[in-house]
Structure 1
Amino acid sequence: MDVTAIIDSLNDAQRQAVSAPSRSMLVLAGAGSGKTRVLVHRIAWLIQVEHISPHNILAVTFTNKAAKEMRGRVEELLNISARAMWIGTFHGLAHRFLRQHSEEAKLPSTFQVIDSDDQLRLIKRLMKAMNIDDTRWPPKQMVWFINAQKDEGIRASHIQETGDLYQQKKLEIYRAYEDLCKRSGLIDFAELLLRAHETLRDNTELLAFYRDRFQHVHVDEFQDTNTIQYAWLRLLTEGKDNLFVVGDDDQSIYGWRGAKIENMFNFQKQYPNHLLVRLEQNYRSTGNILKASNALIACNEGRMGKALHTDDGDGDLISLYSAFNEQDEAYFVVERIRKWVAEGNSRADAAILYRSNAQSRLFEEKLMAMGMPYRVYGGLRFFDRMEIKNALAYLHLSAHKGNDAAFERIINTPTRGIGTKTIDNIRHLAREQQMTLWQAMISLLKAGHFTPRAENALKGFVLIINSLTEQSEGAELYQQVKNAIEKSNLIEFYKKEKGDKGEARVENLEELVNAARQFDYDASNEENQSELDIFLAHAALESGDAQGDAFDDCVQLMTLHSAKGLEFPLVFMVGLEEGLFPSQQSVDDFARLEEERRLCYVGMTRAMKYLYMTYAESRRLYGKENYPRPSRFLKEIPAEQLQEIRLRANVSKPVTPVKSSKSTLGTSGRYQLGQRVKHEKFGEGVVLQVDGDGAQERVQVNFADAGMKWLMLSYAKLELL
């Protein structure tokens, strides 16, 4: 491939970033400006023009989906294999590094990666063994505390005791958790990054080797990096001036989970020789959407500064809808989508974005009532599903008897008559003797400690695990997975579960065998690791991935946070009200309010052609009727980019009453405000408002028992009283 083939398709700013001489670079990439394209073409330029070996290139991003896309595009552009390059997620690359250097990392070569669910289970078990009240110290909060410390590079030994009982107890749990993981050879997600950083930092020769190897380090979504991730990058590139980062301070929306927007500003100080390139040409949205988004985000202070523009036209104005209440809002959105689909458009091209997960319920109800398929983005991924995690736990334990998390998960799943007291005895001995749960169980069995019933159940469990271990010798990966599912009796267990859920679980277990059969195993990158271990690590890392897969033809529902990185021709941003978006917690906090504004900016720039923004004049939240003000973000959008769909002056209108006192109201019905009506389900009520015409005519009725309801007259059979 010649030089022109790499850069011909790029705009001027993209070309500058791709072809710049080797040095550190900050590419400030606006939404829809082609940042992945720039990263991929930069790598291609280095290999094809600068003659850098693929072996000397590192590229890191945040999701497995993004990493897979990057590898695929590099291979397609250069017609070479990307295996020699380290392209992956922070967690995936840290795992790869630790596998190759487990001795330097002070880890057993057979260490196991645990996901967030298994981590929570371990914390719960620890707290129970330590007699800690989980109502005062909730296990989920303890997990958050431990991971937050690790993300900042802080070990339990680094934390000073302050005399505060609450902090002291959290520190005790952190210490005990570290001891348990060390004893069991377990690594959680946060530990992957921290241990990789510590191993490089504390091994001079190893650090020198990787600094020399990775002559070019690339980072995607740099604004989402946390403290330990940036520290790891700094270690690798210190003194080399070879860090190429792509990010957007205006899309930094994950501060609540540790992302540091400050990293972007610190980069400019710590790499003073860097080149700054702004990608401002947008290839996604219309001119009006971009003008509105630029005006909104300009209200934030301390930005690096950029303004998105497009060579395409302005397109439609942003539609603003003021709903009577949350029911009306949901009806309006779903009705607009119905018309969109009726015009021949795809359901999957329409997305409903909301600030809080709780907002999805009404939209789901309306979509179901209309018989329109939909999907809530961010639902459980394949490897997160309970039945899959249970099957994998059998494989974990058969390969590594010291995996306490796997032991805890399946000791009585499916139920085999092993009670809480029996498990507590095993836990107690394991803690007392500093041994694994498997070792403690075997020891107690030999001592004849259990009742005959418990002993038989435990021996049956031991027989299952040992037989899986024996059958794994020489067996193909898919056969090992199939054996685990059959021996564990999980299929029969889930067949007993009523309804579609049990059937779906069985289908998922069958799909797990297919996943193992299709697993791409590259032994060259995994020294001394069995194919099963690599598959289990892959499953754990996939489980931690927040990004979803491609969808069928369904309407997409998701939180604004989940929408980042996606795009849709038709977007509805709903619930734009003070206290909901921006959230109540951010109203009095300047930094959090600015992050909320960035979140609004992200939502707006997901829209390609049509953007609807809605708010409700009244909304029932937490069992209480509220009358919120429209979001301040709406006021920050220029009026010339907005069109109001319904003016409040036209909402209510007095009309002529129907003459018959026992008529059923249809679309041609007319009545006065205050008219008493009866509904077969809601009972008697009073008409408060009427809106729309013809088939779209509807009324708001205050029912004595059911409260206020909006009803479509073409569907609701109201009887005049």
Structure 2
Amino acid sequence: MNSSLLSGLNPPQLQAVTLPLQSALVLAGAGSGKTRVLTTRIAYLISTGAVSPHGILAVTFTNKAAKEMVTRLSAMLPINMRGLWIGTFHGLCNRLLRAHYREANLPQTFQILDSGDQLAAIKRVMKQLNVDDEKYPPREIQNFISGSKEQGLRANEVEAYDPYTRRKVEVYAEYDAQCQKEGVVDFSELLLRCYELLSRNQSLREHYQERFKHILVDEFQDTNPLQYQWLKLLAGGHNSLFAVGDDDQSIYAFRGADVGNMQELLRDFHVEAVIKLEQNYRSHGNILDAANALISNNRNRMGKNLWTAEHGGEPLRVYEAPNDVEEANFIISEIKQLHSDGVRLAEMALLYRSNAQSRVLEHALVSAGLSYRVYGGLRFFERQEIKHAMAYLRLMENADDDNALLRIINYPTRGIGARSIEQLQDAARQNNTTLFDAAARAGGKVAAFVGLIEALRSATVDLPLPEIIEHVLHHSGLIAHYQSETGAKRREAQERLENLNELVTAATLFVHENEEDNLTAFLSHASLEAGEHQAGDQD
């Protein structure tokens, strides 16, 4: 083992990293070095010969965290990182379902619906069932379906004691049937389908239990009931579950997270070692004193007290404004004072809890003549022009994807109006087929659209991934459409063209980073990237 591997760890970190082969819970306070502990634990297990790289399963909550873990490990160990299973719950379930798509009753090229696509699919189902979208708001139905799946419940398992809930269950059941017909899955379905597959397929379950001797989980306090059951299933009765989390940072209950999973872990896995990482390397003493004082009021804490070797730092100030306008005015006066003291605007950051708050703040900044830049907003794969391009690629890969077809059948405009699309949907319902099958039997402009998709598919069959995308962008008419924009729309169209060019670059980078020149894999990557950002947006 490399002797430098453990150097610089404080005593609790060292204890966590070098634990015997057993399940453990590491209570890691904010800024206490939990990522270092997780990655060093993996490196320690591999370098001491306790497990091969193939015997590790590491679960994170974001793609960024997974990439950071891989980067750190590659600097620690001279091994090929591709053998390691490190990723998010959804990413790992996608990987497993791709490997066993037949057993999971999915097509090989199944597509992943992001939040927007899922909502569109639900609206289609509600329209088919004549469900009143004022009495049953589609986003409420979306949350109901996702919430049920995150509890591990199919439509026929949801308890419905009243007509209102029974109607929501009907939509859930029909939505599931529609997704199965189209060969698409939403984010919650990835995990539920994977859990069901492992539950019913003993040989497959035993294969992965035998393989993954060590399961490590980041941000364990954010796991929901189904995620915990999935981890238990893979751990079986003999594998080690090493969970890192902080009950004091559990803020996603609205999204189904259950901090009670920490107590269940202690009981289910007979955890003897609860290690507390309490030394903070991020903040000064005054901030930690305030944080400790506030969090001490929480009930049912597992208990820890953050401390730092740093000095107190600046004292904290709290200003309680009577309303949002006064709050914005106070912030502007603070910015002006700092600026007059020589602090550059580029060195100031303004944080707010929800996007809805930005309007008042931006108005105050503009009124004060202060230049600013908003970070966040739409991510790359959520942009309209990118979703159009991806819809062409999805439909080429999976002709049963009705969502993709509806997005692009008349984009760019090709003379297929709302009435023609309604007739197409009626024909598909009557014949119990997908929209693409119904379109293939139609005539005129609808048939020409089918011909376009089939021509794109046949022309790109042997091309590398970046060239597939470049071909589709040009021959679908998307590039010409944006190039033809004039007047006020010209500047916006130019930005959209730049983003479409960036999509080709993104595909090139994907091939380089993943060593996969595969359209299905790229489409999954794009959906997982978009979906991760949207996971918390349903409030």
Same fold (TM over 0.5): yes
1:20 is displaced (CA, Å) by 1.0
- Asked if residue 174 in structure 1 is aligned to residue 162 in structure 2, the reply is no
Partner SS state of residue 533, structure 2 = coil
* Alignment CA distance shift 1:239-1:344 (3 Å): farther
Shift of 1:132: 1.8
Q: Does 1:474 align with 2:462?
A: yes
Aligned counterpart, 1:217: 215
Q: Distance in 1 between matches of 2:342 and 2:456?
A: 53
Identify the residue that residue 697 of structure 1 maps to in structure 2.
none
Specify every segment of 5 or more residues in structure 1 that has no aligned partner in the other structure, as ranges.
446-454, 549-560, 563-584, 586-721
Q: Name 2:142's counterpart in structure 1.
A: 143
Contact map agreement 1:241 1:271 (CA 8 A) in 2: no
2:452 is the counterpart of 1:461: no
More strand per residue: 1
Equivalent of residue 235 in structure 1, options 230, 233, 236: 233
Q: Identify which of 245, 248, 254 aligns with 1:247.
A: 245
Closer/same/farther in 2, CA of residues 66 and 54 from structure 1, 3 Å limit: same
Residue in 2 aligned with 1:364?
362
Cα distance in structure 1, aligned partners of 2:196 and 2:62: 23
| Corresponding residue of 2:72 | 73
| Conservation of the 8 A alpha-carbon contact between 1:33 and 1:281 | yes
1:512 corresponding residue in structure 2: 503
For the structure 1 residues 80 and 348, does the alpha-carbon distance in structure 2 shift closer, same or farther, using more than 3 Å as the test?
farther
More helix by share: 2
The correspondence of residues 303-452 of structure 1 with structure 2, limited to 5 A, is 303-323=301-321, 326-337=324-335, 340=338, 350-368=348-366, 369-377=368-376, 379-445=377-443
Partner Cα distance (1:490, 1:338) in 2? 46
Q: Output one character per residue of 1:301-329: Cα deviation in whole Å (capped at 9) or x when no partner.
A: 11000110000101111022354653343
Contact 2:57 2:86 in 1 (8 A): yes
Deviations 1:446-474 (A, max 9, x none): xxxxxxxxx2x223322321221111121
Match of 2:524 in 1: 537
Out of 480, 494, 513, which is 1:503 matched to? 494
Considering only CA atoms, is the larger Rg found in Structure 1 or Structure 2?
Answer: 1
TM-score for both structures, normalised by structure 1: 0.71
State the one-letter code of the partner of 2:439. M
Alpha-carbon contact 2:284-2:313 (below 8 Å) kept: yes
Which residue in 2 is equivalent to 1:485? 473
**Which amino acid in the other structure matches residue 501 of structure 2?**
E
Residues 265 and 271 of structure 2 are in contact (CA less than 8 Å); yes or no, is this contact kept in structure 1?
no
* Deviation of the 1:340 alpha carbon: 4.6
User: Map of 1:569-580 to 2, 5 A cutoff?
Assistant: none
DSSP-derived class of the 1:351 partner: coil
Per-residue CA shift, 1:402-457, capped at 9, x if unaligned?
11111111111222221222111111221222211000111233xxxxxxxxx2x2
| SS in structure 2 at match of 1:318 | coil
The answer to whether the 8 A contact 1:281-1:310 is kept is: yes
Taking every aligned residue pair, what percent have the same amino acid on both sides?
A: 47
CA distance in 2, matches of 1:366, 1:499: 29
Kept in 2: contact 1:129–1:427 (CA 8 A): no
Question: Which of 189, 192, 215 is equivalent to 1:191?
Answer: 189
Q: Which residue number corresponds to residue 207 of structure 1?
A: 205
CA separation of 1:407 and 1:547: change in aligned 2, threshold 3 A: closer
Q: Are the structure 2 counterparts of residues 519 and 277 from structure 1 closer, same or farther at C-alpha, using a change threshold of 3 Å?
A: same
Distance in 1 (CA, whole Å) between partners of 2:100 and 2:255 is 29
> Which amino acid is the alignment partner of residue 115 of structure 1?
D
In the alignment, which residue of structure 2 is the partner of 1:265? Answer: 263
User: Quick one: which amino acid aligns to residue 164 of structure 2?
Assistant: Y
How many residues align structurally?
Answer: 534
* Distance in 1 (alpha carbons) for counterparts of 2:137 and 2:355: 22
Mind listing any 5+ residue stretches in structure 2 that lack a counterpart? none
Matches within 5 A, 1:28-177: 28-162=27-161, 164-177=162-175
| Whole-Å separation in 2 of the counterparts to 1:478 and 1:341 | 46
Q: Taking structure 1 as reference, are residues 348 and 143 closer, same or farther at Cα in structure 2, changes over 3 Å only? A: farther
Task: Mark the CA change 1:267 to 1:51 in structure 2 (over 3 Å): closer, same or farther.
Answer: closer
Q: How many angstroms apart in 2 are the aligned matches of 1:547 and 1:139?
A: 16
Cα displacement string for residues 501-558 of structure 1 (whole angstroms, at most 9, x for unaligned residues): 332222111111111122236888x8xxx7111111111111112299xxxxxxxxxx
Q: Which amino acid in the other structure matches residue 169 of structure 1?
A: R
Taking CA–CA contacts closer than 8 Å with sequence separation of 6 or more, which of the two structures ends up with the larger relative contact order? Answer: 2
2: distance between equivalents of 1:34 and 1:367? Answer: 37
| Cα distance in structure 1, aligned partners of 2:348 and 2:490 | 30
1:27 aligned partner, one-letter code: V
Partner deviation per Cα, 1:624-664 (whole Å, 9 max, x = no partner): xxxxxxxxxxxxxxxxxxxxxxxxxxxxxxxxxxxxxxxxx
Letter of the aligned partner of 1:109 in structure 2? Q
- 1:487 Cα offset (Å): 1.8
Distance 2:204 2:469 in 1: 37
